[in-house]
Amino acid sequence: MAANRPFKSALIVVDMQEDFCPPNGSLAVPEGRTIAPIINTLLSKPGFTMRILTKDYHPKDHISFASNHPGPENQPFSSYVTMNNPAPGKESESKLQQLWPVHCVADTAGAEIIPEIDSSNVDLVVRKGMRPEVEMYSVFADAFGNCDPGAHTHSVSLDVAAALRAQGVTDVVVVGLAGDYCVKATAIDAARVGFKSWVVEEGTKCVVPANWEDIKRELKDSGVSVISMGDPLIEG
């Protein structure tokens, strides 16, 4: 496949963590755990140059936790607060931040990758969302597009785009949780920073499953291709 251009693919498995999975996850995505076998099938495919797992990995005082914003108006899932760009010189840039239950706190059981995922041939595990004052759904950049690995107060443990480019990767295949948040943001950013970007439909589940058709349209409008298991891209 992709015979008429250079082609090297990477698999990015997004946030397959206890807190995003039933039955006990604090931000459980409906049927989130059921995609583990499909993801293991993908992880075992020989065609990928790199296999990356991401972990949502927040400090206790993360801006996205509703409990960090006291007041009856601040409810998980339904409320928003104002978030400012933490990058130097960008202080005046702000966005609305959706509030969530406390989830994926660093060094807690909820932040662990679920044991159903076979990580034996994973090349990299990347932590994201580590900076308290800013959200980071995409592993490529925070909510304002900043990517600052290694900075004094950093959001992400590795510059994934640089790591992929260093291996000559051209195509990124994204699966995991959740389809309407971190998978969507990661797949769209992969396209934005210059990779051909693909999402495997059976390999993701949404916080709000009814939104998937709209999300697929948003992905396609952003240059991301949504494919199924069995697609020649995966089968080689």
**Residue 18, interface with ligand VGL (CB under 6 A)?**
no
- Residue 140 binding target from Zn ion, ligand VGL, none, CB below 5 to 8 Å by type: none
Sole window of 42-50, 114-122, 142-150, 175-183 interacting with ligand VGL (rule: CB under 6 A) = 175-183
**Residue 63, interface with ligand VGL (CB under 6 A)?**
no
For the CB of residue 89, give the shortest distance to ligand VGL in the complex, in Å.
27
User: CB neighbours (10 Å) of residue 113?
Assistant: 17
**Residue 100, interface with ligand VGL (CB under 6 A)?**
yes
Quick note: the x/- pattern for Zn ion over 40-59, rule CB under 5 A, is: ----------------x---
CA distances (Å), 54 to each of 22, 51, 124, in order?
19, 10, 8
Within 182-201, the residues that bind ligand VGL by CB under 6 A are: 182
For the CB of residue 135, give the shortest distance to Zn ion in the complex, in Å.
7
Is 182 one of the catalytic residues? Answer: yes
**H or E element at residue 216:** helix 212-221
Question: 15 vs 189, which CB is nearer to ligand VGL?
Answer: 15
Q: Is the peptide bond before 191 cis (omega within 30 degrees of 0)?
A: no
Q: How far apart are CA 7 and CA 212, in angstroms?
A: 29
Q: How far apart are CA 236 and CA 231, in angstroms?
A: 9
Q: How many residues bind Zn ion (CB under 5 A)?
A: 1
From the list 15, 19, 159, 180, the catalytic residue is 15
Which residues touch 154 (CB under 8 Å, ≥6 apart)? 130, 131, 148
Question: 4 vs 213, which CB is nearer to ligand VGL?
Answer: 213
Is 15 one of the catalytic residues? Answer: yes
Q: How far is CA 35 from the centre of its chain?
A: 15
Q: How far apart are CA 177 and CA 195, in angstroms?
A: 20
Amino acid 217 reads R
Let me know how long the chain is. 236
- The torsion region of residue 137 among left (phi > 0), alpha (psi -120 to 50) and beta comes to alpha
- Residue 177 binding target from Zn ion, ligand VGL, none, CB below 5 to 8 Å by type: ligand VGL
**Residue 180, interface with Zn ion (CB under 5 A)?**
no
Is 60 one of the catalytic residues? Answer: no
Interface residue with ligand VGL among 141, 173, 178, 187 (CB under 6 A) is 178
Task: Give the CA dihedral 83, 87, 90, 93, nearest 10 degrees.
Answer: -20
Interface with ligand VGL (CB under 6 A): 15, 20, 56, 64, 100, 177-178, 181-182
Interface with Zn ion (CB under 5 A): 56
> What amino acid positions are annotated as catalytic residues?
15, 128, 182
